Amino acid sequence: MRVLVVLPLYGGSLPVGRYCASALTGLGHLVEVFEAPEFYASYQALKGLRVTSDRLQYLENSYLQVLSQAVLAKTETFEPDCVLALAQAPLSIQSLKRLRRDGVATAMWFVEDYRLFTYWQAFAPYYDYFAVIQKGAFFDALRQVGQENVLYLPMAADPEFHRRLELSAVDRRRFGSAVSFMGAGYPNRRMAFRDLTRFDFKLWGTDWEGDPILAPHVQMGGARVSSEDCVRIYNATTVNINLHSSIQARELVTGGDFVNPRTFEVAASGAFQLVDRRGLMGELFVTDGPEAELAVFDRMEELAPLVERYLASPEERIAIAKRGQARVLADHTYSARMRDLLDFIATRRPGWPKVRDMAPAVSGLPPELAAEITALLERLGLPSSTGFDDLVWAVRQQQGSLEGLDAAVLFLDEWRKLYAKKAQA
């Protein structure tokens, strides 16, 4: 199957998109990624024009329309069976209508809180399939705007990336602490973590400025932490704190529904975490009893005493972390999520994906030309059974100037498409 993954310009769903692309490739599909982040610098440069806010908004919207047209161009070239967009991907309603008209399946994985990020209301009806990390009221709300193909698809981890690391002594000093938190400084976290400053406590991530109590614990000056360093932090920390975000400071532990990606990533890394209980968590992990896979807290008053308990109980801590890791590796990988998504689309879309001409590219060719095509397949690392369409795709992925045979393959593909259009006219 061919899948085009459309990344957002920036934000929390950007690494998720990369994990999805990697998982789809691992499942044996041909994957192309629309690298929207490559356009982020020029998008940001619009703010430097010093124009009025209404003109800036017009320019930004126009720029996003160009990106959306670029996705369409990529789709026409790659001819995917599915276009998978992550939250805030640059796909306009007009482009989604075009893809639907052309019979290309479109799916969105909305990995955000629908109550806080409400732009889904405008876009959801125009995607063929809508995967979400919440249930209940969100399903009802999506049906009210005309989206019937809704799939609950919780977050996950990438075992190739989120894994146990053998850290150097330097990395242990840099990233290690008894207690740490990695994430943004939402209001509830700012208030909650003041009670943890009596421990060997490190804060990692952005938006922590302006708090004199927490300031001495903020690392790297509050700079953004890379995904690679996040895994190092998880591995180097004795007790990872995982408090879900909230813009409200009055209720520090919100008891919300969705489970954030950090829960899966810390567990997949074989690290220990204290995480606030969530409404959907019980469907994903064992959270109570002697076989608990996560250590959870329900009220803020429980957090500091639990930190003390687990700091003093390495055997219990390690056992919980191992069970959590085993659960993620068994059930909560991005490969499992992508399998579920494609299976869901297949059940809702009869005859999908369409059967492609899988005849080997060398079929019917004169011996001399067949030998040249075979050599080209070997150079591209493709098996001799590769079909012509997949050969074209592989040739287009190359960088630099084309050799004669490469150019001939692309020319033949363009001629074939032109001939097919004339035949249909």
pLDDT tens profile 190-242: 999 999 999 999 999 999 999 999 999 999 999 999 999 999 999 999 999 99
* Long-range contacts, 194-197 (Cβ 8 Å, 24+): 195/300, 195/303, 195/304, 196/241, 196/303, 196/304, 196/307
Asked if residue 92 lies in contact with residue 64, where contact means CB atoms within 8 angstroms, the answer is yes
Q: 2-156+334-348 with 169-331: one CATH topology?
A: yes
User: 25-50: buried (b, 16+ CB within 10 Å) or exposed (e) per residue?
Assistant: bebebbbbbbebbebeeebeeeeeee
> Of the candidates 285, 206, 298, 293, which has an alpha carbon nearest to the alpha carbon of residue 251?
298
Q: In whole angstroms, what is the distance from residue 136 CA to residue 409 CA?
A: 51
pTM of the model: 0.88
Q: In whole angstroms, what is the distance from residue 67 CA to residue 98 CA?
A: 15
Residue labelled with tokens 């399903």: 139
Residue labelled with tokens 């009806």: 125
Q: In whole angstroms, what is the distance from residue 162 CA to residue 294 CA?
A: 17
110 to 14, 23, 124, 361: CA distances (angstroms)? 12, 18, 9, 38
User: 244-260: buried (b, 16+ CB within 10 Å) or exposed (e) per residue?
Assistant: bbbeeeeebbeebbbbb
Residues of the chain with pLDDT under 70: 357-358, 420-425
Sign of the dihedral through C-alpha 394, 400, 401, 403: negative
**380, exposed or middle or buried, with CB in 10 Å at 0-12, 13-18, 19+?**
middle
Give helix 404-424 / helix 388-396 axis angle, nearest 10°: 120
Asked if residue 367 lies in contact with residue 361, where contact means CB atoms within 8 angstroms, the answer is no
Q: In whole angstroms, what is the distance from residue 217 CA to residue 229 CA?
A: 17
Q: In whole angstroms, what is the distance from residue 10 CA to residue 42 CA?
A: 13
Could you please state the CATH topology (level 3) that the domain comprising 2-156+334-348 is classified under: Rossmann fold (3.40.50)
Q: Which architecture characterizes domain 169-331 according to CATH?
A: 3-Layer(aba) Sandwich (3.40)
> Of the candidates 200, 199, 202, 205, which has an alpha carbon nearest to the alpha carbon of residue 186?
205
Name the strands in the sheet holding 129-132, side by side, starting at the edge strand that comes first in the sequence. Answer: 30-34, 2-6, 82-86, 105-110, 129-132, 150-152
User: 6-22: buried (b, 16+ CB within 10 Å) or exposed (e) per residue?
Assistant: bbbbebbbbbbbbbbbb
pLDDT of residue 424: 66
Tokens of 244: 């879900």
pLDDT of residue 357: 64
End-to-end Cα distance, the chain: 28
Q: Where are the domains of the chain?
A: 2-156+334-348, 169-331, 367-424
356 DSSP 8-state letter: P
Asked if residue 387 lies in contact with residue 358, where contact means CB atoms within 8 angstroms, the answer is yes
